[in-house]
Structure 1
Amino acid sequence: MAYAEKRGKSWRVRYQLPDGRYDSESGFDTKQDALDYGRAQETDVQRKVFVNPKDGRQTLGTWADEWVKVMDVAETTDRTYLSRLNAVILPHWENIALGDITAMSYKAWRAKLAEQFSKNYVEGIEGVMRMLLDDAVEERLIPFNPMPSKTRRRRGRHVAVDNEDTYVWPTPRQALLIAENARALRGDQWYVMLLTMAYTGLRMGEIAGLRRDQLRLLGLEHGRYLRVQWQGQWLSAHAKHEVEKGQTCESIAELRLADPKRAGEIAKLNDVEVGGKLRVGRKLLLPKGFTLVPPKYSSYRTLILPPFLADLLSEQLAAKAHDVLVFPSQRGRPLRVDDQFYGRFWHPALQGRDAEPSRRGRPEQKALPAVKGVEEMVPHGTRHGHKVWLDGQGHPRVAVEERMGHKLKGVEGTYSHTSPEMELAIAQGLQKLWEASLAPGEEEVGAEWAQRRSG
């Protein structure tokens, strides 16, 4: 039971904790104030909602160190969370006590973030921060999450919502023109890669991680398909691999690193022999760098290919640009989407380039036309375009979402199913879009005619 003690000019209260020990709080002006506080804490103990005020003195940095140790997420998600923590959250909050984080201090910080970063990046940072504080509440370090609720209405000036869709995605004709520019820049593989992105809706990581053994191209017409099994990522931390029956360092290197020659790196990292027997179920660390990991949200799926794309992919496999991957880099290594990728390939494919003469051993560069209307598109825009094309053809929502690697929620997700006929209709519809894209539009015909007259 709580009791109060006189300490100089103020009062101190002692109250019982859930484990039977006593804690205290000082600085009360009157005995009654001290007793009221102590009895309130003991009431919370009895109701099993007690949060020790002193636990809130733990800093966010200390709590974050504990939090990351118990995260159970995919390698790519783990990397994303750590990046946002180290780059943005901890520099501001690391030495602040959890109990000192208020809604107002959080809002002030968020306002600064909005000035520095894009909306999507800020929302990603908020997501990590919310999980961090929600888990602190669950561990009873703080009584509630001080971050304002997303649904709670706040005071302040009304901000109009901009409903205009500004995301850039291509039409089938624009996708073809981008692919033609890609071929002029780097060759046939890149032409096929751009069309594969547009006509399958694969994410960029899934394109980079597309293995040769994921393609089934023997058959006619609509009997050929592609399996989404992996995505390729460049990791700055070690991924893990659970050994299955019969696997060796070499087979794991081929499966997860797309390079059996890296078996020695796996053996050295885990202190095993390259040709030694591996215990089933053992978790091995994989070297940093390019790694094949499960697709986002574990969105494994099989896609029937339109005939034209199956033919192009067959030619790509015959060229054998890489022993494992379908779309390697120019140097025959795993594809990396970095500044060089954007500066030397992606932006010129969309925005065009001027002609340049040969100099200092560099070959002549022919001029490329810009693809009007998509100059600012990012690679993910081809995935958006794929969804728009399928919606425009009126395919069932369940079949479209399954092809995109999404899961429908609620009753629709429970009772809707994709039939083979739906999948076949999608492949046939994509073939029609391709055939229509081969005919130039009126604007392009007019521009070509004007160019010929001026020439």
Structure 2
Amino acid sequence: MGYAEKRTGYYRGRYKVAPGKYGTVCDATGATIKFRTKRDAEKAANDEEAKVTGGTWRDPSAGRIAFGEYASRWYAAQDLAASTMQNYRRHIEEHLLPEFEEMYLAEMLRPEVDAWEKKEKEAGYAASSIKTWRGTLHLILEDAVDEGLITANPATKRRGRGKRAGRSRARGPEKVVTTPLGALLIAERAALLSGRDDEFVACILKPYTGARWGEIVGLETEFVRPGLVRIEWQLYELDTGELVRCPPKDDSYRNIDVPAWLSKLVSDHIARTAPTPCACHGRTYVFRGQGVARTGAPGAKLVDVARRAGVSKGTVSNVLNHPERVTEATRVRVEAAVADLGFVRNGMAQENAEHWRRNGFATWLFHPAADGWYPKKAPQEARPVPLLAEPWPGVPARGRNASGRAEACWLPIAKGITPHGLRHADRTWMEELGTEKVLMDERMGHIDGSVSARYSHVTQAMRDRLMAGLTLLWEAALDARLAMCPRSPVAVLDALLLERAQRNLGDDPKIISQISPRGLLETNQGPDSR
């Protein structure tokens, strides 16, 4: 039995913890409770001893460990994917330790956690981010509860308490998606900004497969097969800049059926670029990065001059190195393009990077293509992409005084869309086509744990209908782009438009030869997104 021990001016409760070992009744912080009467001390001591007998007793001193110390120990014990470990470390170091590092676990009560959350909101962080950080805190403290260090988890969110409104308070911004035509126009602009076809192929592959960014970057040539793309790996970019080759998110290994036209587009791209194994992983990837960010500061490339002059890159090279090999008219046209673009020989002599970087791709290629603006980046403010109007839809002006030499700028196609928004677009298109949910989940790499999903299975007829539907969307987008202008400065798109025009108008070379670069533009000045 417990007993009361008289002290100067108060009683304290004592109870048996183990043979020859006694404990003192303490509060949640481990401080001794001072009772006014002997009866109260005895009652509290008996209650604690009952907990010892019943196996629910917790050592009051267990919570006297600082959160920072416990969080470090907790993190070291985890053995998770590199991406998850990176996220946990970022949450702990940047948002939890600044507030709770020196606080004992037993002192971390719900009011303290709620006050921290309110402070993060006032600092301007998104509600979704704060929810994620609180989730990490809850996970850490839940393990502390399991270890008997604390009796309850103060980070547990009580349902419906402390809210001024309903679920709308934590509602994030609407995810921007685009149409098949919008995706085509964004892909064309991204290729114009990069000066090559790689970005066009990637920006078409993403919305028509629903693959994640890391899965596109980590797509290896051996997993591109006739009629399908196999998602086996992804490349995840850590804060250190290292790209880790790891399984796809949630182990969502899958085969994604692709229409014949898309399969040919990707296969032709691989044949054209002839990729070689990268130095970092020793694997051959479908897409490679760029060595220079397309911010408007670097000078024009050889391909820009060729597009401006309406000749091949080889002709431009001849003008620069062997002018006697070209006609006078061609030389004058190329030299005029060199002057217009501010082209400097060897000004862009740099090897391509092995892989894209998420931030660089989104900041300097995707967002300018979708919005028509370069973002704010010190020391430069946000600014429209400066364009030379010819050839249509305009090519980015580069080099010194690019803005001063600009003749036009792009209008937004889908303002605010992100690369991940193309994955949302794929799911939206499938919904519009009436695709069965079981097939959509398979393509997206999602798992439906409902009972009804157990009785639904993908059939070949479902796949065929989806491939036919995606083909119709693609052909409609090509026709709409063809109506804007029958040619494109992007070589791979130009070939696709020419092929589409031949199919629509017939194979008569006389008809095709009459299609001028601006032949249909002047009669199609409606609200096109350029």
TM-score, scaled to structure 1: 0.79
SS at match of 1:17: strand
Quote the Cα distance in structure 1 between the aligned partners of 2:221 and 2:177: 28
Structure showing greater relative contact order (alpha-carbon pairs closer than 8 Å, 6 or more residues apart):
1
Call closer, same or farther: CA 1:312–1:368 in 2, change over 3 Å. Answer: farther
After TM superposition, give the deviation of residue 369 of structure 1 in Å: 2.2
Q: Which residue pairs with 2:450 in the alignment?
A: 410
Quote the Cα distance in structure 2 between the aligned partners of 1:376 and 1:18: 65
Call closer, same or farther: CA 1:9–1:354 in 2, change over 3 Å. Answer: same
- The reply on whether 1:191 has 2:231 as its aligned counterpart is no
Q: 2:229 aligns with which of 221, 226, 231?
A: 226
Structure 2 portions without partners, runs of 5+: 26-31, 278-283, 291-351, 373-384, 388-395, 486-519
Q: Please say if residues 306 and 431 of structure 1, whose CA atoms lie closer than 8 Å, have aligned partners that are also in contact.
A: yes
Q: Please say if residues 484 and 524 of structure 2, whose CA atoms lie closer than 8 Å, have aligned partners that are also in contact.
A: no
After TM superposition, give the deviation of residue 360 of structure 1 in Å: 5.3
- The reply on whether 1:204 has 2:245 as its aligned counterpart is no
SS at match of 1:28: coil
Q: Which residue pairs with 1:3 in the alignment?
A: 3
Call closer, same or farther: CA 1:403–1:357 in 2, change over 3 Å. Answer: closer
After TM superposition, give the deviation of residue 397 of structure 1 in Å: 0.8
Q: Which residue pairs with 2:440 in the alignment?
A: 400
Q: Which residue pairs with 2:367 in the alignment?
A: 347
1:73-112 to 2 correspondences below 5 Å: 73-112=80-119
Q: Please say if residues 321 and 332 of structure 1, whose CA atoms lie closer than 8 Å, have aligned partners that are also in contact.
A: no
Q: Which residue pairs with 1:309 in the alignment?
A: 262
Q: Deviations over 1:176-204 (max 9, x none)?
A: 11011112112211000001111111111
Letter aligned with residue 250 of structure 2? Y
Q: Which residue pairs with 1:181 in the alignment?
A: 189
> Bigger CA drift: 169-178 or 45-54?
45-54
Quote the Cα distance in structure 2 between the aligned partners of 1:134 and 1:447: 63
1:42-441 to 2 correspondences below 5 Å: 42-115=49-122, 116-149=124-157, 152-155=159-162, 157-159=164-166, 161=168, 166-186=174-194, 187-217=196-226, 224-235=227-238, 289-318=242-271, 319-323=273-277, 324-330=284-290, 331-338=352-359, 340-352=360-372, 353-355=385-387, 357=397, 359=399, 369-372=410-413, 374-440=414-480
SS at match of 1:144: coil
Which has more radius of gyration?
2
SS at match of 2:462: helix
After TM superposition, give the deviation of residue 313 of structure 1 in Å: 0.4
Q: Deviations over 1:401-437 (max 9, x none)?
A: 1110010013134333223332333222211211121
Quote the Cα distance in structure 2 between the aligned partners of 1:396 and 1:387: 11
- The reply on whether 1:29 has 2:40 as its aligned counterpart is no
Please provide the CA RMSD for this pair. Answer: 2.9
Letter aligned with residue 411 of structure 2? A
Q: Please say if residues 192 and 313 of structure 1, whose CA atoms lie closer than 8 Å, have aligned partners that are also in contact.
A: yes
Quote the Cα distance in structure 1 between the aligned partners of 2:436 and 2:8: 77
Q: Please say if residues 177 and 371 of structure 1, whose CA atoms lie closer than 8 Å, have aligned partners that are also in contact.
A: no
Q: Deviations over 1:197-223 (max 9, x none)?
A: 111111111111111111113xxxxxx
Quote the Cα distance in structure 1 between the aligned partners of 2:218 and 2:365: 19
Quote the Cα distance in structure 2 between the aligned partners of 1:212 and 1:82: 34
Q: Please say if residues 197 and 203 of structure 1, whose CA atoms lie closer than 8 Å, have aligned partners that are also in contact.
A: yes
Letter aligned with residue 334 of structure 1? H
Q: Deviations over 1:220-239 (max 9, x none)?
A: xxxx11100111022358xx
Q: Please say if residues 322 and 332 of structure 1, whose CA atoms lie closer than 8 Å, have aligned partners that are also in contact.
A: no
Call closer, same or farther: CA 1:165–1:68 in 2, change over 3 Å. Answer: closer
Letter aligned with residue 244 of structure 2? T
After TM superposition, give the deviation of residue 19 of structure 1 in Å: 8.1
Letter aligned with residue 320 of structure 1? A
Structure 1 portions without partners, runs of 5+: 218-223, 238-287
Quote the Cα distance in structure 2 between the aligned partners of 1:407 and 1:127: 22
TM-score, scaled to structure 2: 0.68
Quote the Cα distance in structure 2 between the aligned partners of 1:357 and 1:350: 17
Quote the Cα distance in structure 2 between the aligned partners of 1:164 and 1:298: 27
Quote the Cα distance in structure 2 between the aligned partners of 1:78 and 1:147: 21
Q: Deviations over 1:377-416 (max 9, x none)?
A: 1111001111111111111111101110010013134333
Q: Which residue pairs with 2:13 in the alignment?
A: 13
Call closer, same or farther: CA 1:22–1:365 in 2, change over 3 Å. Answer: farther
Quote the Cα distance in structure 1 between the aligned partners of 2:420 and 2:35: 60
Quote the Cα distance in structure 1 between the aligned partners of 2:460 and 2:18: 60
SS at match of 2:285: coil
> Bigger CA drift: 32-41 or 162-171?
162-171
- The reply on whether 1:449 has 2:457 as its aligned counterpart is no
Q: Please say if residues 216 and 225 of structure 1, whose CA atoms lie closer than 8 Å, have aligned partners that are also in contact.
A: yes
Call closer, same or farther: CA 1:412–1:367 in 2, change over 3 Å. Answer: farther
After TM superposition, give the deviation of residue 43 of structure 1 in Å: 2.0
> Bigger CA drift: 309-318 or 320-329?
320-329
After TM superposition, give the deviation of residue 50 of structure 1 in Å: 2.1
Quote the Cα distance in structure 2 between the aligned partners of 1:19 and 1:117: 53
